[in-house]
Amino acid sequence: MTNFVLLHGAWHGGWCWARVATRLRAAGHSVFSPTFTGVSDRAHLLSPQVDLITHVDDVVRLMDAEDLHDVILVGHSYAGMVVAGVAEQRPDRIRTRVYLDAFFPRGGESAIDLLPDRIAHHYRESVSGPGFGWLIPPRSLEVLGVTATEDIDWLTPRLTPQPWATYTAAVTLTARERDVPAVYIECTSWMRVFASSAERARELGWPGYELDTGHEAMVTTPEPLALLLDQLAV
């Protein structure tokens, strides 16, 4: 049995992993999929003070409270930033970190630094307008590659704005984080916003995988994703 900790991207909650988590548990694994402070089912805790450090603390405290070791830590999209921060603080508890179409930062970088310029500009406009200066409104699911009506109907009412400080706070990293083994999974059937992060991983010689799906792989292709994660647990 492997301990999987599955971390969601911006605007989502831990519930978005349900289709993958069910399959991993059926394969005999233990699965945790927390929701970060201030979003989705924890939106009642939202404040301008919620930032990347808050979300790293969410996961570190979970791992400590559950006494989790030999963890496969999976971060989707924004949560690649969180994976890096957690690996810095608890490297001895993590077997493998998995970046699923996710930011792969270097020390001193923030999420907004890693977005393509055009998309970063769109984010800043959204924050300054409908985001009231401190929130990132949810992006269109169709832009993210979600097209099935049942998936859109499931996701849409559960998504909430993302605190802007989670994208502007820089992550502090040392060799502790770099020593944790890692793999990168890129979703290839959309605009490939995270291509530069995938390229960084290739340059470091990480094992790399591709999924022929849009950005929301845990929703659109849960079976192939769960099979791949199960294989990484061997």
* Spatial separation of the C-alpha atoms in residues 120 and 133, rounded to whole Å: 15
Residue at 54: amino acid letter: T
User: Residue 30 class from Cβ within 10 Å (0-12 exposed, 13-18 middle, 19+ buried)?
Assistant: middle
Q: Between 222-232 and 18-26, two packed helices, what is the crossing angle to 10 degrees?
A: 50
Residues designated catalytic: 77
User: Residue 150 class from Cβ within 10 Å (0-12 exposed, 13-18 middle, 19+ buried)?
Assistant: exposed
If we measure between CA atoms, which residue out of 218, 82, 74 comes closest to residue 162? 82
Residues forming beta bridges with residue 230, ordered by sequence position: none
Tokens coding 116: 């393509």
The secondary structure of the chain in percent helix, strand, coil, rounded to multiples of 5, reads: 45, 15, 40
Q: 177 near 204, Cβ under 8 Å?
A: no
* Spatial separation of the C-alpha atoms in residues 233 and 15, rounded to whole Å: 22
User: Residue 164 class from Cβ within 10 Å (0-12 exposed, 13-18 middle, 19+ buried)?
Assistant: buried
